[in-house]
């Protein structure tokens, strides 16, 4: 695949009014979601649930891509149509989560490093054959007493850069996700400082590994107070500080930025995105790559009556996609 192809895919991922749905939960994570609504976590139920999401009518109007899990990219509809074909027919780009999750960072108590670089080149080659057009790797940055350390930030930035270089080698657009967690009592100013330091380290590492920014997408967390902080910022403050942080640390060459919801409510995630898109002269499109904020309402509906509520659940997925698509244009009215 040529450099121009990578640029085209990256730009398609952040097309105006479109964003990405994240359905890349590991089996352990989807089990927690299913347990919360009383659904048995069998392979068939996981397949059926993801079929419901991916075949929602008109989804491609507001969704440019979907991040899949290893199991999901190999699955098909009840009628035997591969999910990747269903997505291609709907104009939705298949993506794939390729990291192996987090582990304790040795020597740095309370901090995490993402694993999965071993054997990644071969796995990316296989995923490209299976139809993936982009990939995702998530790093996790905790805020707490005396953390994050520079060691944690630098180690995760280095891993993200190595992953991104391998993706582009295999013709896949890398989505780099350095998530600054909302867990904690920290205020929004602390989140700003940590997010800026993390992004600066990330883009330095990407440059050092010769990653082409024009064929890369950033999946960012918003600058927001810790969920246990007594003082929660207003929507306008979250938007202002997030945009300010991004302008200070993200090169304009990047094709676009998508946000994770990170534990925000559905409406909060949409409102914050909409407020950011009120700013003029942004150097990149700001869109969404939401998981729970796209799925939670639909999951509850589907779980209550898998066959009887099927169409209603799909309509809910579409409505969430539409709301966030409007927010990506700054046109959501709440």
Cis peptide before 213 (omega within 30 of 0): no
Confidence at 234, pLDDT banded by 50, 70, 90: very high
Q: Apex CA 15: angle with CA 315 and CA 133, to 5°?
A: 90
DSSP 9-26: HHHHHT-TT-EEEEE---
Q: What is the pLDDT of residues 51-77, one digit of tens each?
A: 999 999 999 999 999 999 999 999 999
Q: Let me know: does 15 contact 64? Beta carbons within 8 Å.
A: yes
Q: Which residues of 10-20 are buried (b: 16+ CB within 10 A; e: fewer)?
A: bbbbbbebbbb
> How far, in Å, CA of 19 to CA of 321, rounded?
8
Q: What is the pLDDT of residues 249-279, one digit of tens each?
A: 999 999 999 999 988 999 999 999 999 999 9
Q: Average pLDDT over the chain, rounded to whole?
A: 96
Q: How much is the average pLDDT of 228-237?
A: 95
What is the pLDDT, as a whole number, of residue 263? 85
Instruction: Give me the catalytic one of 18, 97, 136, 219.
Output: 219
- Tell me the CA end-to-end span of the chain in Å, nearest whole number: 41
Q: Is residue 3 scored above 80 in pLDDT?
A: no
Q: What is the pLDDT of residues 74-114, one digit of tens each?
A: 999 999 999 999 999 999 999 999 999 999 999 999 999 99
Q: List the structure tokens of 118.
A: 């071993």
Q: Is residue 204 scored above 90 in pLDDT?
A: yes
The reported pTM is 0.96
State yes or no: is 100 an active-site residue: no
Confidence at 4, pLDDT banded by 50, 70, 90: confident
CATH of domain 3-327: 3.20.20.70
What is the pLDDT, as a whole number, of residue 168? 98
Confidence at 2, pLDDT banded by 50, 70, 90: low
Confidence at 287, pLDDT banded by 50, 70, 90: very high
Handedness of CA 288, 292, 295, 298 (dihedral sign): negative
Q: Is residue 281 scored above 80 in pLDDT?
A: yes
Q: List the structure tokens of 309.
A: 């509520």
Q: Residue 213 gets which letter from DSSP?
A: G
Q: Which of 86, 305, 170, 206 is nearest to 68 (CA)?
A: 86
Q: Which residues pair with 257 in a beta bridge?
A: 218, 286
Share of the chain above pLDDT 70, in %: 99
Q: Is residue 1 scored above 80 in pLDDT?
A: no
Q: How much is the average pLDDT of 159-167?
A: 98
User: In the chain, where are the structural domains located?
Assistant: 3-327
Instruction: Give me the catalytic one of 25, 51, 111, 177.
Output: 177
State yes or no: is 227 an active-site residue: no
């Amino acid at each position: 695949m040529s450099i121009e192809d990578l640029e085209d895919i990256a730009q398609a991922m952040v097309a105006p009014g479109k964003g990405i749905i994240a359905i890349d939960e590991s089996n352990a994570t989807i089990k927690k979601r299913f347990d919360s609504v009383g659904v048995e976590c069998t392979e068939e139920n996981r397949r059926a649930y993801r079929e419901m999401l991916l075949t929602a009518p008109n989804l491609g109007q507001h969704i440019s891509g979907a991040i899949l899990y290893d199991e999901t990219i190999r699955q098909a509809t009840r009628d035997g149509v591969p999910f990747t074909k269903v997505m291609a027919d709907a104009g939705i780009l298949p993506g794939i989560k390729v990291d192996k999750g987090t582990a304790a960072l040795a020597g740095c108590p309370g901090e995490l490093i993402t694993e999965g670089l071993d054997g990644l080149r071969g796995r990316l080659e296989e995923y490209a054959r299976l139809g993936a057009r982009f990939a995702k790797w998530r790093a996790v940055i905790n805020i707490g007493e005396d953390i994050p350390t520079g060691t944690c930030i630098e180690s995760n930035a280095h891993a993200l850069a190595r992953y991104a270089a391998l993706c582009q080698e295999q013709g896949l657009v890398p989505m780099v996700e350095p998530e600054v967690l909302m867990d904690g009592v920290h205020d929004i100013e602390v989140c700003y400082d940590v997010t800026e330091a993390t992004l600066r380290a990330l883009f330095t590492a990407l440059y050092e590994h010769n990653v082409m920014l024009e064929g890369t997408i950033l999946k960012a967390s918003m600058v927001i107070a810790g969920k246990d902080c007594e003082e929660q910022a207003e929507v306008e403050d979250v938007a202002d500080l997030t945009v300010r942080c991004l302008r200070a640390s993200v090169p304009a060459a990047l094709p676009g930025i998508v946000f994770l919801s990170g534990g925000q409510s559905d409406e909060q995630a949409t409102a914050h995105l909409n407020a950011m898109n009120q700013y003029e002269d942004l150097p990149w499109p700001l869109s969404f790559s939401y998981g729970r904020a796209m799925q939670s309402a639909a999951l509850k509906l589907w779980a209550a009556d898998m066959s009887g509520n099927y169409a209603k659940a799909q309509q809910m997925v579409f409505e969430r996609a539409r709301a966030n698509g409007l927010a990506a244009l700054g046109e959501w009215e709440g």
